[in-house]
Structure 1
Amino acid sequence: MGLLRLERTKNILREISGTLKSSATVRAAYGKPVRTPDRTIIPVAKVTYGFGGGGETEKGVEKGNRKAEREEGGGGGMMVRPVGVIEVTDKKTRYIPIGLRARLLFFLAAGFLSGWAFSQRRHAHHAHAER
């Protein structure tokens, strides 16, 4: 029984590792270049991965003929956050960080637009229901 659990855990770790390998590429941190006649802009992001797992065996508990049960679990996630752009021109290449103010304005604008869209949809739903 212990070898079966060990093999199952190894398979889960292989699957997680394969998923991370396929998504942990340069493209995750550097976006598709945007070309204009006088410059190229390359988006840059911070990519963070995390995962964990664990298990526990209930000791001293015996139910009928069964011995203590083992509980296992795990999970993971990935977060991508824009941090700046690389600007390439004929004269120079430079990194331009996205400041906190710009990120804040972006999220405020996104929140405002989402709220507006939701209210429009809700208004349309109520208008339709009144007919």
Structure 2
Amino acid sequence: MGTDNFIEKLASQFGQSATVKNVYGEPVHSGNKTIIPVAQIAYGCGGGYEQGKKKLNQLKEPINTTDDTMEEGAGGGGGMYAKAKGVYEITPTCTRFIPASGHKILVTGLLIGFVLRGLFSRK
């Protein structure tokens, strides 16, 4: 069993799955307007392989020292993360990015609300 082949295969499978098209679909065309989804995608994978002689059991005693059998073990895994960032809206007159997150608007609104409350609640 080769470690290189295992990790390469795992990475290529993640690479094929981690695309905006697989997560959000194809761009949408409607009249003169095209909408293209934008996403942040990250993936990682890892694995390992070891081969060697079995040396000690749980009691720290040698196990059958005349037996030259080799033992091996392998493992691997990975994960993928996808988050919508927004869309590009393309029209004949302009192209604009529309963010998916309204965090800036929410924080700005809260900040303005606290400032106005502080101004109007003074006696």
TM-score normalised per structure 1 = 0.54
| Secondary structure of 1:42's aligned partner | strand
Q: Which has the higher contact order (CA 8 A, sep 6+)?
A: 2
SS in 2 for 1:18: helix
Structure with greater proportional helix content: 1
Letter in 2 for 1:18: S
Q: In the alignment, which residue of structure 2 is the partner of 1:122?
A: none
CA contact (8 A) 1:30 1:42 kept: no
Residue 37 of structure 1 is matched in structure 2 by: 31
Q: Please tell me whether the aligned partners of residues 60 and 68 of structure 1 are also in contact (alpha carbons under 8 angstroms).
A: no
Structure 1 runs not aligned, ≥5 long: 102-131
Aligned to 2:10: 16
Deviations 1:70-100 (A, max 9, x none): 5431101222211100001111011111115
**RMSD, aligned α-carbons:** 3.1
Q: 1:95 aligns to what?
A: 97
Indicate if the aligned counterparts of 1:31 and 1:44 stay in contact, CA closer than 8 A. no
Work out the CA distance in 2 between the residues paired with 1:37 and 1:79: 33
Kept in 2: contact 1:29–1:44 (CA 8 A): no
Please state which structure has a larger fraction of its residues in strand. 2
- Tell me the amino acid that sits aligned with residue 77 of structure 2: G
Structure 2 gaps of 5+ residues are 57-61, 104-123
> How many pairs does the alignment contain?
95
Which protein is bigger by CA-based radius of gyration?
2
Q: Is the 8 A contact 2:39 2:86 kept in 1?
A: yes
